[in-house]
Amino acid sequence: AQTVTQSQPEMSVQEAETVTLSCTYDTSESNYYLFWYKQPPSRQMILVIRQEAYKQQNATENRFSVNFQKAAKSFSLKISDSQLGDTAMYFCAFWPYGGSQGNLIFGKGTKLSVKP
Amino acid sequence: SQTIHQWPATLVQPVGSPLSLECTVEGTSNPNLYWYRQAAGRGLQLLFYSVGIGQISSEVPQNLSASRPQDRQFILSSKKLLLSDSGFYLCAWGLEGGWGDTQYFGPGTRLTVL
């Protein structure tokens, strides 16, 4: 079975500091997409960043960047200059090639608290 | 720009009662539509997805069903709710519809079955 593992159920960081959330996945596929979603207390899921497995360059979106290590099947999210508004659940998700139209597989999430 | 709506925002229902949750998307045509459930302390579980009107695929067998009566409307239903149906239900849409398409989520519905 293809799975996504987020080994850190909870993390905290001081405002303005940098934090890295880990994610590993298990698959025999060589082509796939990876995503990080953020779910703030309002509960609406928001796309943070998207990575295509065949692109070696790590994706970045403003203060958010990923460290994609394909051989290690690792996809960590780095948040720089953390802000109070970054407090949320963060979900790593994985969509393997050849999966069904809806085959987006989510991890169980990491709860991030940004402290003033 | 595209927006996605879900209602109701919260719902409390007795066991055995029917359910109808609605999701609508604005600002796009022929989107892929998805229903997810998020149980406490867990990630999202895909329940249904639809690539067009009347086309529904089920990922998890259960007492829930879905329908897509119009291009941008997606409905989640049940004839008789179970306690285990409690959770947070999220609707999502994707434009391109293919593998790896980014999914955009609605605000969700909190369902409590008593």
Q: Which string of DSSP letters, residue by residue, matches A91-104?
A: EEEEEETT--TT--
CA distance B65 to B58: 8
CA distance A74 to A93: 12
Question: What is residue B59's predicted lDDT score, i.e. its pLDDT?
Answer: 80
Query: Nearest-CA neighbor of B22 among B32, B12, B9?
Result: B9
With CB atoms and an 8 Å threshold, state whether A45 touches B90.
Answer: yes
B40 — contact with chain A (CB < 8 Å)?
no
CA distance A99 to A96: 6
Q: How far is CA B113 from CA B10, B62, B84, in A?
A: 11, 15, 8
pLDDT digits (tens, 9 = 90+) for B62-93: 789 999 999 999 999 999 999 999 999 999 99
Q: Nearest 5°: phi and psi at A41?
A: -55, -25
Contact assessment for residue B111 and residue B89, using Cβ atoms and an 8 Å cutoff: yes
**Above pLDDT 70, what percent of chain B?**
96
Tell me chain B's radius of gyration from C-alpha atoms.
13
Is residue B54 exposed (0-12), middle (13-18) or buried (19+ Cβ within 10 Å)? exposed
Question: What is residue A54's predicted lDDT score, i.e. its pLDDT?
Answer: 87
Amino acid at B26: E
- Indicate if the pLDDT at residue B98 is higher than 70: no
With CB atoms and an 8 Å threshold, state whether A101 touches B43.
Answer: no
Question: What is residue B1's predicted lDDT score, i.e. its pLDDT?
Answer: 83
Question: What is residue A103's predicted lDDT score, i.e. its pLDDT?
Answer: 72
Question: What is residue A5's predicted lDDT score, i.e. its pLDDT?
Answer: 95
CA distance B113 to B34: 22
- Per DSSP, the residues of A21-70 read E--EEE-S-S-EEEEEEEE-TT---EEEEEEETT--SPPEETTEEEEEET
pLDDT digits (tens, 9 = 90+) for B4-24: 999 999 999 999 999 999 999
pLDDT digits (tens, 9 = 90+) for B27-69: 988 899 999 999 877 778 889 989 889 899 888 767 899 999 9
Question: What is residue B102's predicted lDDT score, i.e. its pLDDT?
Answer: 85
Question: What is residue A99's predicted lDDT score, i.e. its pLDDT?
Answer: 59
In a mutational test of the B interface, the residue from A43, A61, A94, A97 whose CB has the highest number of chain B CBs within 10 Å is A43
Of A100, A101, A106, the CB nearest to B43: A106
| Ranges of chain A whose pLDDT falls below 50 | none
Decide: helix, strand or coil at residue B67: strand
